Amino acid sequence: MEKQKGRKKLWKRAGLILGGLVLFLVLVAGGYVIYMQAQYYRIEDNQAVVTENNQEESIQTGVSYTLMTYNIGFGAYSDDYTFFMDTGEMKDGTKTAGTSSRARSREEALANTEGSIGLLQAENPDFIFVQEADEKATRSYGINQVEILKEAFSEYASAFACNFHSAYLFYPILEPHGSVQAGMLTFGKYRISESVRRQFPVDNSFITKFTDLDRCFMVSRVPVEGGKELLLINVHLSAYDEGGKVRAKQLALLNQVLTEEKEKGNYVIVGGDFNHDIADSIESFPSEQKVPGWVFQLDDSQLAEGYHFVRAENAKETPTCRGADIPYEKGVTYTAIVDGFLVSEGITARAENLDGEFRYSDHNPVKLTFELP
């Protein structure tokens, strides 16, 4: 009888402990959701961006200039790095998935940032677009990549627009992605009269709204001798967008701006990470992986009238983006062309995908040589 009473007391105590633990976890989870919601906001559209270290000289018609774009992947993506949000499948049916949510070390993040800068400096371009530069983030160990880039290109005018700001993300549990303040940069050796941050439509569904970037594009106006303007538009469209619905809305807004500027008679160049296959490269490069679900195609027919993509002369030889679900191995890892440029009619332009062998980022830089009529 005494033993039976003892067992009942033991089970009652265990039940109380378990119930208390469940209640504690519920309170912690609820408190965290409240914290995330309290920290959450979206940046308003049409925000003026300050141009630092502005230059005086205007560009001219009939002269050749160069513009580069490079997604530096917050300094994390060495060629053997994999990212926890990337998944895929080998052609033999084996499922694949990335593992890391941060750069593997502060030293590696710095080395990759400096390596990316070196690829840009080697080409000495007149203008530069950079995406995924951290200002302050757990994932890159607090390194201010924005300031490092500004120092590296100190002779350029520069403009920075934030497109990812998040409270501390406790996911994955064993290595949380943490808090992030990051964005895109535009550099120029010539005068930038104005830069404006335009907010893209984004996914505001619960959970996703806390983890997705605050996508945007930055419009920088460059005076051209004779009175016209060249609009340099730095873009970074959404990834991880099932069905491509959000990206369709983003493209519609971009096309609206392109149409408006064409009607004003301005020159326009758009460049960056489109997160779409922009060169019919979906199966152009040897790979042992199936085409991943994030690859959507984008071509001239989907652009505003009077605009076209500039297909790189070496588009069949050099991709600009790799899957990050497995370490990079040429001929094994899936690759495609998602970075590059589109231009308004009349601009003479040619592009080259530079082969950085994905040493410092999951992207390769692209160089555009252009001339205004």
User: pLDDT tens-digit profile of 61-107?
Assistant: 999 999 999 999 999 999 999 999 899 999 999 999 999 999 999 99
Predicted local distance difference test score (pLDDT) of residue 164: 84
Share of the chain above pLDDT 90, in %: 72
Predicted local distance difference test score (pLDDT) of residue 31: 58
Q: Is the pLDDT of residue 15 over 70?
A: no
Q: Is the pLDDT of residue 37 over 80?
A: no
When pLDDT is averaged across residues 235-246 and rounded to a whole number, the result is: 76
Least confident of 1-10, 153-162, 186-195, 309-318: 1-10
Give the pLDDT confidence of 264-320 residue by residue, as tens digits.
999 999 999 999 999 999 999 999 999 998 888 999 999 999 999 999 999 999 999
Predicted local distance difference test score (pLDDT) of residue 199: 92
Predicted local distance difference test score (pLDDT) of residue 220: 98
Query: 3-state DSSP call for residue 89?
Result: strand
Predicted local distance difference test score (pLDDT) of residue 183: 96
Q: Is the pLDDT of residue 41 over 80?
A: no
When pLDDT is averaged across residues 37-55 and rounded to a whole number, the result is: 81
Spatial separation of the C-alpha atoms in residues 84 and 73, rounded to whole Å: 14
Q: Is the pLDDT of residue 27 over 70?
A: no
Least confident of 113-127, 198-212, 322-336: 198-212
The answer to whether the CB of 327 falls within 8 A of the CB of 80 is: yes
Q: pLDDT-based confidence at 45, cuts 50/70/90?
A: confident
DSSP per-residue codes, 95-136: EEE--BSS-S-HHHHHHHHHHHHHHHHHH--SEEEEEEEEEE
Give the pLDDT confidence of 150-172 residue by residue, as tens digits.
999 999 999 999 998 787 777 88
- On the 0-12 / 13-18 / 19+ scale of CB atoms within 10 A, 102 is buried
Spatial separation of the C-alpha atoms in residues 237 and 250, rounded to whole Å: 7
Q: pLDDT-based confidence at 200, cuts 50/70/90?
A: confident
The answer to whether the CB of 368 falls within 8 A of the CB of 86 is: no
Predicted local distance difference test score (pLDDT) of residue 5: 59
